[in-house]
Structure 1
Amino acid sequence: MLVAAACGGHRATTAPAPPTVVGVDDYPPVASGAAPGASAAAAEIATALGRGVNFGNMLEAPTEGAWGLTVTDEFIDRAAAAGFTSVRLPVRWSSHALAAAPFTIEPAFLARVESIVDELLAKGLVVVLNVHHYRQLDGDPLDAGEAPVADAVVDVRFLALWEQIAARFQGRGARLVFELYNEPHGRLNGEPWNVLAARALGAVRRTNPGRVVMIGPTSWNAASDLHLLRLPNDANLIGTVHDYAPFGFTHQGAEWVTPTPPVGVTCCSAAQRAEMTAPLDVARAWSVATRYPVFVGEFGAYGKADDASRVTFTRTMRDAMEARGMPWAYWELAAGFGVFDPVQHAFRPGLLDALLGR
């Protein structure tokens, strides 16, 4: 059973000591320029990721439940029983930490995330734990319910978050993967992300020297930005991209997009299929050149598309990713893109078959 937010996880019962440093220079970057390619351990984990699902609109909301969903035992049990082999767990840590040094993460929230990770791991799932939606890090407007921090500490606070997360989870096995940041963009585009990611990896390596870590490119994890990504000299890495092409289909009717794409777009024509697979080809070429595997951390079609087109899109993407040897995670379990209907307490059979069927 999940541990309540006020309780500790089954292993650690006290939070790690918060960092005492207050500047980015206290987090030296891992050197880059001679990335060796993936280790056998990273390649093994990439294979084990297999077919995954995102637990979206849960812990990456400003507070759990603010976007309509909380992580439940049912979600964990049903995802595992359906045959998913991994779960990507997006977490908005930035809404649950002190605004000033030492940037301590709320003990209750840390314990809540820990309990979820441990239950997922106990089901035999590979878990991808990330930092998600730190709006100020990208220079974005804040969401409702978020409080700003001083601009001068935004980057070092991100590094301090990773120092604490890594310390808390250092005792977990190899099937827990860290993803440094979801969809870097805006003020992080290009070289700023390369530098910050190398520093964040250094913070992780203080307590997790061999854990597999995911790093994705800028422009919202766009494969087209992979050529800008300068990987640190570390073998225990996996690259990650997102693919929502064709956007006019996958995000039709999405209220958070301005202007909202019109509904009524079907899928999948030859032109649409080419648009869907082009980013995968870019990512595959990058993978071959760098000798690091690539995980497609997000793809999916919003529920305002017609059901038949969503199923066709999903199966086409699955087949294309697997033909290129890429593990993936569908976006997402039980919200607007969801493969699972939380009201009916049942999977949407067409989508589930497109993801996991023969």
Structure 2
Amino acid sequence: MRRRRVALLGLLAAGLLAAQAVLPAAAAPRLETGFRRGVGIHTMLNWARLDRGDPGRYAEAPFEGPAYALPEATLRNVRAAGFDFVRLTVDPGPFLQAEGAPREALDRLLVATVRRFLAAGLAVMVNFHDNSQVSRFESVNWLRSPEEPVFKAYLALVRRTAGLLAGLGSAGVAFEPINEPGYGYDGASTRRWQAMCEMLHAAVRAAAPDLLVVLTGAQGGNRHGLVALDPAPFRASRVRYSFHAYEPYPFTHQGVVSKQESARAWRYFSDLPYPPASVPLPMVLDQVRANVEADATLAPLERRRMVAEARAQAAAYVAAGFDRRGIARAFDEVLDWARRNGVRPDQIVLGEFGATRTYGRYRASDPLSYETWLRDMREAAEQRGFAWSFWALGGHGGMALVSEDGATTLDRTSLRALGLSAE
């Protein structure tokens, strides 16, 4: 697809503009029930296999092998718990790279996967969710301009995929054409994202006039990015709006190894309290110190520096006091944006939220703090009429809903916090 001729790209752009111009002017129809309680599926069609001879290319069958399988027992447990949809993340990179028969095989795999969830009684939100494995397909490298060749190819991919999903003929299918755009932190890139979002929406509508579309703001898809988005161009369309929420990050990302300077200390956080003031600060700082001192890879001077840095960040987390009231204020920003713009609360989706917890090889939040934070987030969303999707069902890193890595059973603490059946 990256070899498409410039002339073809010009025709595509013209077609998208035309499709956008003919959107109906009537009021948006009432959304059907469903897509209320979801869970992310990040292990089936993401983190694709790479070509053994060229790490800059995906393998011809990128999602083949046991690592991409979802056991039927896990699927049954998801449905029995009370979830009504899955947010299926799909790496667009292999679809952008493949041509001919391999490309058609990927389309068939995507359609078959969606049909499997539908047959299990679950609606499906298909989300194009890039990653950093092959840099030329990582969105941060091509969202710089609507004229980027990869973005134009991406528009063609969005249009093609929308047609496939619409062809399923199910009201239980939605399409989220991009995940967490990494721009929009200044006026110019905010305006650029608005234009690109409109182009993505038009690409869907060119092939699927009535498919449910999930749109997001920039700034990594957070609430600030959403409230900077102008929804007026989409008012006559069947859409929902998504934002992601992981605040406070020192709590939700305990134990996570990050290369970001501001997040280096997270790997040494465990048992941080939530609400922050529920445990005396000296106890919090003693745990942080013990975690740093247990790291045998640190040289003595580096260890002393990291103890000071980690303790300072933990103390700042406690002092900030971000609790249920902070969550309420954050979600009210989204609700106020919706009211100002004539967006119904049931069109809002808390598209991702989750936190690391202690299980298996992961040492993160204690069960009580974890359950309290997760319940506060879910209740804040529901009280405002927002749908939600928990991150995520499985995958390594410590945020999984399955009870252990590789398990088919679901974590009972998480289910209780989400208001679902833990039986």
Q: Identify the TM-score tier after normalising by the shorter chain.
A: 0.7 to 0.9
| Partner of residue 266, structure 1 | 273
In the aligned structure 2, how far is the partner of 1:154 from the partner of 1:284?
34
Is contact 2:82–2:420 with CA below 8 Å preserved after alignment? no
| Partner of residue 384, structure 2 | 324
Is contact 2:86–2:123 with CA below 8 Å preserved after alignment? yes
| Partner of residue 71, structure 1 | 70
Quick one: structure 1 residues 27 and 337, their matched pair in 2 at CA, closer, same or farther if it must change by over 3 Å? Answer: farther
CA-CA distance at 1:36 after TM superposition:
7.1
CA-CA distance at 1:80 after TM superposition:
1.2
What letter corresponds to residue 255 of structure 1 in structure 2? V
Quick one: structure 1 residues 104 and 137, their matched pair in 2 at CA, closer, same or farther if it must change by over 3 Å? Answer: farther
What pairs with 1:33-44 in structure 2 (closer than 5 Å)?
38-40=28-30, 43-44=31-32
Is contact 2:129–2:179 with CA below 8 Å preserved after alignment? yes
In the aligned structure 2, how far is the partner of 1:111 from the partner of 1:346?
29
What letter corresponds to residue 341 of structure 2 in structure 1? T
Percent identity for Structure 1 against Structure 2: 26
CA-CA distance at 1:307 after TM superposition:
2.2
| Partner of residue 164, structure 2 | 168
Quick one: structure 1 residues 66 and 227, their matched pair in 2 at CA, closer, same or farther if it must change by over 3 Å? Answer: farther
CA-CA distance at 1:73 after TM superposition:
2.9
| Partner of residue 333, structure 2 | 282
Quick one: structure 1 residues 334 and 210, their matched pair in 2 at CA, closer, same or farther if it must change by over 3 Å? Answer: same
Q: Structure 1: any 5+ residue segments left out of the alignment?
A: 1-17, 142-150
* 1:194 correspondence with 2:217: no
Q: Secondary structure at the match of 2:16?
A: coil
What pairs with 1:142-221 in structure 2 (closer than 5 Å)?
152-172=148-168, 173-186=170-183, 189-221=189-221
Question: More helix per residue: 1 or 2?
Answer: 2
* 1:110 correspondence with 2:107: yes
CA-CA distance at 1:239 after TM superposition:
0.7
| Partner of residue 230, structure 1 | 230
TM-score, structure 1 normalization? 0.81
Is contact 2:219–2:225 with CA below 8 Å preserved after alignment? yes
What letter corresponds to residue 118 of structure 1 in structure 2? R
Is contact 2:16–2:206 with CA below 8 Å preserved after alignment? no
Please tell me whether Structure 1 or Structure 2 has the larger radius of gyration of its CA atoms: 2
Moved more, 225-234 or 300-309: 225-234
What letter corresponds to residue 194 of structure 1 in structure 2? Q
RCO comparison, higher one (Cα < 8 Å, 6+): 1
Give a deviation string over 1:47-100, Cα, whole Å, max 9, x none: 41111111124422134489955434333222112210111001012233337x
What pairs with 1:347-358 in structure 2 (closer than 5 Å)?
347-357=410-420
| Partner of residue 349, structure 2 | 295
What letter corresponds to residue 139 of structure 1 in structure 2? V
Is contact 2:34–2:84 with CA below 8 Å preserved after alignment? yes
Q: Secondary structure at the match of 1:271?
A: coil
In the aligned structure 2, how far is the partner of 1:104 from the partner of 1:21?
21
Quick one: structure 1 residues 256 and 67, their matched pair in 2 at CA, closer, same or farther if it must change by over 3 Å? Answer: farther
How many pairs were matched up?
326
Quick one: structure 1 residues 305 and 57, their matched pair in 2 at CA, closer, same or farther if it must change by over 3 Å? Answer: farther
What pairs with 1:2-41 in structure 2 (closer than 5 Å)?
21-23=8-10, 25-29=13-17, 30=20, 38-40=28-30
In the aligned structure 2, how far is the partner of 1:67 from the partner of 1:256?
28
Q: Secondary structure at the match of 2:42?
A: coil
Give a deviation string over 1:17-44, Cα, whole Å, max 9, x none: x998324633434259x9976421xx32
Give a deviation string over 1:243-285, Cα, whole Å, max 9, x none: 1011110012212452332413221246332333333111111
Q: Secondary structure at the match of 1:254?
A: coil
In the aligned structure 2, how far is the partner of 1:283 from the partner of 1:187?
17
In the aligned structure 1, how far is the partner of 2:26 from the partner of 2:190?
21
Quick one: structure 1 residues 343 and 132, their matched pair in 2 at CA, closer, same or farther if it must change by over 3 Å? Answer: closer
In the aligned structure 2, how far is the partner of 1:65 from the partner of 1:252?
32
CA-CA distance at 1:322 after TM superposition:
0.6
Instruction: Indicate which of 239, 252, 255 corresponds to 2:254.
Output: 252
CA-CA distance at 1:161 after TM superposition:
0.8
In the aligned structure 1, how far is the partner of 2:165 from the partner of 2:92?
14
Moved more, 250-259 or 322-331: 250-259
Q: Structure 2: any 5+ residue segments left out of the alignment?
A: 50-62, 277-320, 358-363
In the aligned structure 1, how far is the partner of 2:207 from the partner of 2:95?
22
Is contact 1:217–1:229 with CA below 8 Å preserved after alignment? yes
Quick one: structure 1 residues 317 and 105, their matched pair in 2 at CA, closer, same or farther if it must change by over 3 Å? Answer: farther
In the aligned structure 2, how far is the partner of 1:66 from the partner of 1:185?
31
What letter corresponds to residue 350 of structure 1 in structure 2? T
Give a deviation string over 1:101-160, Cα, whole Å, max 9, x none: x8997222222221110011112212101111165453259xxxxxxxxx9411111101
TM-score, structure 2 normalization? 0.69
In the aligned structure 1, how far is the partner of 2:246 from the partner of 2:78?
22
What pairs with 1:331-350 in structure 2 (closer than 5 Å)?
331-335=391-395, 336-341=398-403, 342-350=405-413
Is contact 1:38–1:291 with CA below 8 Å preserved after alignment? no
What letter corresponds to residue 296 of structure 1 in structure 2? L
| Partner of residue 56, structure 1 | 42
Q: Secondary structure at the match of 1:185?
A: coil
Give a deviation string over 1:187-230, Cα, whole Å, max 9, x none: 89412222222122222112211111110100111111223212
